[in-house]
Chains A and B, each alone.
Chain A
Amino acid sequence: MSRIESDRWTSLHAKAREIRRSILTMIHRARSGHPGGSLSAVEIVVALYYHLMRHDPKNPRWPQRDRFILSKGHCAPVLYAVLADCGYFPKEDLETFRRPGSHLQGHPAQHKTPGVEASTGTLGLGLSTGLGMALGAKLRGDSHDYYILCGDGEVQEGQVWEAAMFGHKYRLDNVIAFIDRNYLQTDGSTEQVMPLDPLRPKWEAFGWNTYEIDGHSFEQIIGTVRHAQLQRGRPAMIIARTTKGKGVSFMENEAGWHGTPPNSEQYERAMEELSRAV
Chain B
Amino acid sequence: MQYKQTRQGYVDALIELARENPLVVVLDADVAKATRTCDFEKVFPERFFNCGVQEENMMSVAAGLALEGFIPFATTFGVFASCRAADQVRNSIAYPKLNVKIAATHCGISTGGDGASHQANEDIAIMRSFPNMTVLVPGDYEEARQATRAAAAYSGPVYLRLGRDTYPVVEQIHGPFEIGKAKQLAEGRDITIITTGIMVSEGLAAARLLGGEGISAELIHMPTLKPLDEEAIVDSARRTGAVVTAEEHSIIGGLGEAVAACLAERCPVPLRRVGVRDVFGESGMAQELLTLYGLRASHIAAAARELLKGRSNALGRTA
Contacts and interface: CB of A to CB of B under 8 A. Distances in A.
Interface of A: 109-111, 117-122, 124-126, 128-137, 139-140, 158-159, 162-163, 165-166, 169-170
A120 B64 CA distance: 12
A128 B68 CA distance: 14
Given A109-B96, A128-B63, A166-B61, 18 more contacts: A111-B97, A118-B64, A121-B91, A122-B87, A124-B56, A125-B88, A128-B61, A128-B92, A129-B67, A132-B65, A133-B67, A134-B64, A137-B68, A139-B25, A159-B60, A159-B88, A166-B52, A166-B54
Interface in B65-80: 65, 67-70, 72
Contacts of B92: 118-119, 125, 128-129
Contact of B70 (A110, A121, A139, A163): A139
B186 interface: no
B95 A119 contact: yes
Give the size range of B's interface with the partner: 20 to 34
Interface string B229-253: 0000000000000000000000000
B87 A166 contact: no
Contacts of B60: 125-126, 128-129, 132, 159, 163
A256 B51 CA distance: 38
Interface in B41-60: 47, 49, 51-52, 54, 56-57, 59-60
Nearest to B25: A139
A136 B95 contact: no
B65 A136 contact: yes
A133 B67 CA distance: 7
B64 A136 contact: yes
Contacts of B57: 128, 159, 162-163, 166
Contacts of A126: 60
B62 interface: yes
B65 A119 contact: no
Contact of A136 (B52, B70, B87, B96): B70
A162 B96 contact: no
30 contacts: A109-B96, A111-B95, A111-B97, A117-B67, A119-B95, A119-B96, A122-B87, A122-B91, A125-B63, A125-B92, A128-B59, A128-B60, A129-B61, A129-B67, A132-B62, A132-B65, A133-B64, A133-B65, A135-B61, A135-B64, A136-B65, A136-B70, A137-B68, A139-B25, A158-B56, A159-B88, A163-B57, A163-B61, A165-B52, A166-B52
Q: List the 3 closest A-B pairs by CB distance, nearest first.
A: A132-B64, A136-B68, A128-B60
Given A128-B57, A158-B56, A163-B57, A110 B96 contact: yes
Classify the interface of chain A: helix, strand, loop or mixed: helix
A129 B51 CA distance: 13
B43 to A, nearest CB: 17
A131 B72 CA distance: 14
B67 A132 contact: yes
A162 B65 contact: no
Given A119-B96, A133-B68, A159 B56 contact: yes
Contact of A129 (B47, B63, B70): B63
A136 B49 CA distance: 11
Nearest to A140: B68
A227 to B, nearest CB: 25
B132 to A, nearest CB: 10
A259 B59 CA distance: 28
A170 B88 CA distance: 21
Interface string B183-219: 0000000000000000000000000000000000000
B67 A125 contact: no
A19 to B, nearest CB: 25
A140 to B, nearest CB: 7
Contacts of B47: 139
Given A135-B61, A139-B25, A118 B56 contact: no
